[in-house]
A and B are shown apart, each in its own frame.
Chain A
């Protein structure tokens, strides 16, 4: 069975601080996808990244960066120089390779960036 764990329920940081959101996953599949989504108070899920299990390269997109380590089954997300607009719930998710089905969300981490 697939499972995603986000051990941090809530995090509060002061603006301009860096923050890392942890994600640990479990799967028996050799091919799978990992995702991060942002859910602001409006509720709509905002897609941030998708990573294929064969691509372990870290990725940077502006202030966002992701560290994928297969050896520890982790896919951590770092926000550099956080801003108030980053305040949201962030979900890590896992799906198998069957055309994106069997989608499992982690419990989410609520990030509050204080001015």
Chain B
């Protein structure tokens, strides 16, 4: 089946530093990947849609200069949280769309804690 991985699975960083999260589709090519954020006891909220080879599309209220997304290949998208602050602490989940099955496959998530 289609598998999506994320790295790291958890990260703790100091306020003001940048953190990069990788999302990989392991056995299929994903022209589109999505990044979600989930605060404790809340639902998943779409942050941005990442298309291979083009700029990401951000949802309203998401700062594109703070959450940098790069989708450089058909199997890798990265999310960089720049100058992270404690309020950025959250669970970040990516997903990859596989056109063959017409659905999204979710990664296991990355738990970010900013001190």
Residues of A near any B CB (own CB < 8 A): 33, 37, 42-45, 47, 50, 91, 95, 97, 99-101, 103-108, 110
- Whether A107 touches B34, Cβ cut-off 8 Å, given contacts A44-B108, A50-B103, is no
A99 with B97: CB separation less than 8 A: yes
> Does B32 count as interface, using CB distance less than 8 angstroms?
yes
Consensus secondary structure, chain B interface: strand
Instruction: Give, as a whole number of angstroms, the nearest-CB distance from A32 to chain B.
Output: 12
Contact B109 A43 (CB under 8 A): yes
Surface stretch bound by A, among B11-19, B38-46, B63-71, B77-85: B38-46
Q: Does B102 contact A (CB under 8 A)?
A: yes
A-B CB pair tally, cutoff 8 Å: 48
> Which of A44, A100, A104, A110 interacts with B102 by CB under 8 Å?
A100
Known: A43-B108, A43-B111, A101-B49. A108 touches B93 (CB 8 A): no
Q: Provide the bound-state CA to CA distance between A105 and B93, in Å.
A: 13
B11 vs chain A, min Cβ distance (A): 14
- Whether the pair B43, A91 counts as a contact (CB closer than 8 A) is yes
CA distance A83 to B104 in the complex (A): 28
